[in-house]
Amino acid sequence: MTKFYGEFSKVWLSVDCIIFGFDEGKLKILIGRRKMDPGRGEWSLYGGFVASDESVDDAATRTLYDLTGLRNLYMRQVGAFGNVDRDPGERVVSVAYYALINVKDYDDELRREHGVEWIDINEIPQLYSDHNEMVNKARKMMQQKLANEPVGFRLLPSLFTLTQLQKLYEAVNGEELDKRNFRKRIKEMDFIEKTELIDKTSSKRGAHLYRFNKRVYNEDPTFKL
């Protein structure tokens, strides 16, 4: 097994997940109290180790599924974090990933079983090891991504109001947007379809529900927001 590179040393490889959700008008991530040593009890991202028979991406997918029970999540690599002493116990290099989920899709029972909570991205406490760094980089990458591709729908129910969508963009970018300018831009995007359905949960008058049409998007790749 060591025929080629035996002279070099090996490391443990883990994955850590920054799971973004949008709830109560706020951008949040899932964190919990670490259940293993070292660092037991500290706030931490959810993670896992890479097994010998799976790719690093697959390990992240598996870890996400393990935590959320959800498949086909939008997921992107944040990068490798490899300081020598980043793990107080051993040499562990970790590859961080961020994922976008619709909070409503995540069974709250399952969430509690794993002991993770949705925490406002602006109120993240000190986390285990270098996890704050991972969160910061993930957040920047996600912002950048959202500015160039319509990935925000991954954080919303399949039917959503324009107000919800606007609040989402505001939460991600950390700044308020002009309602009329926002709606003007949305109207130009053919892949955001207005339905005849009305949502009455957040206003007496009711707001039209919209949906993202992936097919139209793929045919007409001219997105900028």
Tell me, residue by residue from 69 to 108, as one string, x for binding to DNA by CB under 7 A and - for no binding. Answer: ----------------------------------------
Burial of 50 (0-12, 13-18, 19+ CB in 10 A): buried
Spatial CA neighbour of 151 closest among 96, 208, 220, 73? 73
* 182 contacts 174 by C-beta, under 8 angstroms: no
Nearer to its own copies, 90 or 123 (CB): 90
Q: Which of residues 21-60 bind its own copies (CB under 8 A)?
A: 36-38, 49-57, 59
> Site size for DNA, by CB under 7 A?
18
Could you give the angle at which helices 162-173 and 179-188 cross, rounded to 10 degrees? 110
Q: Which of residues 57-76 bind its own copies (CB under 8 A)?
A: 57, 59
Buried-exposed string 180-202: b where 16+ CB fall within 10 A, e elsewhere: eebeeebeebebbeeeeeebeee
The alpha carbons of the chain give a radius of gyration, in whole angstroms, of 20
Q: What is the dihedral of CA 115, 120, 125, 129, to 10 degrees?
A: 70
Supply the minimum distance, in Å, between the C-beta of residue 46 and its own copies: 16
- Among DNA, its own copies, none, partner that 200 touches (CB below 5 to 8 angstroms by kind): DNA
- Among DNA, its own copies, none, partner that 8 touches (CB below 5 to 8 angstroms by kind): its own copies
Supply the minimum distance, in Å, between the C-beta of residue 141 and DNA: 21
Q: Which of residues 121-160 bind DNA (CB under 7 A)?
A: none
CA angle 178/183/188 to nearest 5° reads: 135
> Site size for its own copies, by CB under 8 A?
37
Could you say which of 3, 10, 71, 180 contacts DNA (CB under 7 A)?
Answer: 180
Supply the minimum distance, in Å, between the C-beta of residue 182 and DNA: 8
**Is residue 79 close enough to count as binding its own copies by CB under 8 A?**
yes
**Is residue 206 close enough to count as binding DNA by CB under 7 A?**
yes
- How many Å apart are CA 82 and CA 92, to the nearest integer? 7
CA distances from 160 to 153, 154, 163, 207, 209 (A): 9, 11, 8, 9, 5
**Is residue 221 close enough to count as binding its own copies by CB under 8 A?**
no
Could you say which of 3, 10, 71, 200 contacts DNA (CB under 7 A)?
Answer: 200
Interface residues with DNA (CB under 7 A) are 161-163, 178-181, 183-184, 200, 202-208, 224
